[in-house]
Structure 1
Amino acid sequence: MLRKLSSRALIAPVFALAAALSASALADEASVKKAMEAKLGGKVDSVVRTPYPNLYEVFADGQIVYTDEKQTTIFVGTLIDGKTMKNVTAERLQKLTAIRFSQLPLEQAVKIVRGDGKRVFATFEDPNCGYCKRLAKEVTRLDNVTLYVFLYPILSPDSLEKSNKIWCAADRGKAWTDWMADGKAPAGKGDCDTSAIQKNVDLGHKLGINGTPTIFFTDGERIPGAVPIAKIEQKLAQTAAK
């Protein structure tokens, strides 16, 4: 006669199998992480086994690379899901590089308010960055926004000099917009307390900001590069809805 098994007896082996598989996956990820750190010669932030056969996502230095279990192949590029045609790499980077907006030291930024200022975002920008100037012209068309510009002089010594002058201006927002959107060079000596600018550089390095402009929205999402005003408007509407 067959013995009737309790539901607990049936479920227990399933949980045990799931736990074993989970432990195995973690062990594989750990070994891949160790091996990739040796190959890349630096810290790897995370390794995750993807849903795709024998493919691991390796996140390091703000970038994603892919490899197999034995690291016989390492490639950098865009991973597209064959069924949905979604850009998997872009979606994962968006998640992995997100920040907590509330932790940004906004007192270290140039504050620009237009209209009611309810829609908020922040940028890291170099005053000699051509793409930043393009973005600044786009931003002048936005209304009802508060923009926090973190001066991030990483391109040249002159970038630091201009940043100091903008920071020391009586109206920082006007000085920034005059230079970036209209080409009117900032006046003054830049001899006030400019320690905030060095703090911005340190913060940018910590956040893995390697280029300007870099935009952050209040949901933590980061978008590198100058983007069209339509995309900024769309993102601001999404964050406002949340």
Structure 2
Amino acid sequence: MHLIITRFASMLALLLVFLAPNVWADRYTQLESSLARINPDMKASSIAPTPMVGIYDVLLNTGDRLYMSADGEFFFAGTMYQNTSGASLVNLTEQSALGARLLAMQGPAAQQSWVFPAQGEKKATITVFTDVDCFYCQKLHAEMAAMNALGIEVKYLAFPRAGLGSPSYQVLVDSWCAENANEFLTEAKLRAHNKQAPQTSPQLCENPVIAHYTLGQEIGVNGTPAIVLDSGELWPGYLPANELAKRLGIL
């Protein structure tokens, strides 16, 4: 099942490449104008036709999704399903989101991460958007040894829920710039859990924290932890190591 989803998502991701802004901007000026009337800061990251005639799937720069008429006069937000006679119900919104996430997670921002490798044979990889002062992020991190022992490699991307420039943002920057980034991040989560003062900040360095945060917003992360699979699937929230392994098909 995961293989089928991955193949579909890969095909959809390639489609989205050809629908990049410089390709479709001239074709969908009415939709762009409609977005500007809603909010001048609202932009489309991608626009694609849907199976519903005259309705377009518009992915916003905020990670949200709208469905708009071709002239931009009407739009709605929500989940679109395809209910074809004799076939299973299809969640078109999730299919579209899957392809967009897969494409985004192949970009440069996601390639820079804290990596906690699997022990022995690597059986699965998960990418987790994390914060240091989030209780369930701390709880998930406490399962790190168990996840790694089950063959799960964990990659962390930064998502300071309080926003850029917040204290948690600074701790994530410090964690990246530390001599031993994994140890610093582990200690930061433990100290936050115990309500202790943050560690001494290392020398500032170039870091991907802003890029991670922006990526999370683009793919619709609105809380932490948020687990992204190689297929592009997004699992919000905490899962114990054994439950995670079962869902990944390891146990």
Q: Structure 1-normalised TM-score?
A: 0.66
> How many residues get paired?
210
Q: 2:113 is aligned with what amino acid?
A: A
Cα distance change of structure 1 residues 149 and 88 upon mapping to structure 2, 3 Å threshold:
same
Which structure 2 segments of 5+ residues have no match? 1-23
Share of identical aligned residues, percent? 17
Residue matched to 1:173 = 182
2-side partners of 1:232 and 1:28: how far apart?
A: 44
Cα distance change of structure 1 residues 170 and 70 upon mapping to structure 2, 3 Å threshold:
closer
2-side partners of 1:121 and 1:172: how far apart?
A: 18
Residue matched to 2:146 = 141
2-side partners of 1:187 and 1:171: how far apart?
A: 16
Residue matched to 1:45 = 45
Structure with bigger gyration radius? 1
Which structure 1 segments of 5+ residues have no match? 1-25
Higher relative contact order (CA 8 A, sep 6+): 2
Q: Comparing 29-38 with 113-122, which one deviates more in the overlay? A: 29-38
Deviations 1:51-105 (Å, cap 9, x if unpaired)? 1243222221222111223444321111222333222211211112223656446
Match of 2:98 among 94, 101, 104: 94
Query: Are 2:127 and 1:122 aligned?
Result: yes
2-side partners of 1:130 and 1:123: how far apart?
A: 14
Q: 1:216 is aligned with what amino acid?
A: V
2-side partners of 1:49 and 1:171: how far apart?
A: 47
Query: Are 2:188 and 1:162 aligned?
Result: no
Residue matched to 1:217 = 229
Cα distance change of structure 1 residues 174 and 29 upon mapping to structure 2, 3 Å threshold:
same
2-side partners of 1:161 and 1:123: how far apart?
A: 19
- 1:204 is displaced (CA, Å) by 3.0
Structure 2 counterparts to residues 1-242 of structure 1, below 5 A: 30-40=28-38, 41=40, 42-61=42-61, 62-83=63-84, 84-99=88-103, 101=105, 103-104=107-108, 108-116=112-120, 118=122, 119-137=124-142, 139-142=144-147, 143-155=150-162, 157-164=166-173, 166-167=175-176, 171-177=180-186, 180=189, 183-184=193-194, 188-196=199-207, 199-206=208-215, 208=218, 211=222, 212-219=224-231, 221-223=232-234, 225-229=236-240, 232-233=244-245, 236-237=248-249
2-side partners of 1:226 and 1:200: how far apart?
A: 20
Q: Structure 2-normalised TM-score?
A: 0.64
